[in-house]
Amino acid sequence: MQFPKPVRIKLKGKAYTKFRKQVADRAKERCEGCGCYAPRVIDGTFDQYRCGHVSHKRSKGAGGQDTLENVEWLCWKCHRTYEDKWNYH
């Protein structure tokens, strides 16, 4: 007997922008890694080196979802530290 695959929550476009705002608001625009100020936008735009990032605890590739329980708000330095640990290459 085959069971259907569970439906994963993967947001795109405006829905992901709204989700990103919810994560930033939950963290009060503070990095949940080091505690530094990590705003959602600066002067109305996203700057990858000065704004915060949504980081998945369990990656989307490993079946993680876009849910508040599976993400944390990180500054670009803390987010980069996680990427260095993955080291795919």
- What are the residues facing 47 on neighbouring strands? none
φ/ψ of 72, rounded to 5, equals -140, 160
| pLDDT tens per residue, range 23-59 | 999 999 999 999 999 999 999 888 888 999 999 998 8
**Hey, how many other C-beta atoms are within 10 angstroms of the C-beta on 28?**
10
C-alpha separations of 10 from 42, 52, 53, 57 in Å: 26, 20, 16, 14
> What is the CATH superfamily name and number for domain 13-58+65-86?
His-Me finger endonucleases (3.40.1800.10)
In the predicted model, is pLDDT for residue 89 greater than 50?
no
Q: Which pTM does this prediction carry?
A: 0.79
Q: What is residue 55's predicted lDDT score, i.e. its pLDDT?
A: 92
Quick: pLDDT tens for 54-80. Answer: 999 988 888 889 999 999 999 999 988
Q: Which of 20, 26, 22, 14 has its CA nearest to residue 48?
A: 20
| Per-residue model confidence (pLDDT) at position 1 | 66
Q: What is the pLDDT of residue 75?
A: 93
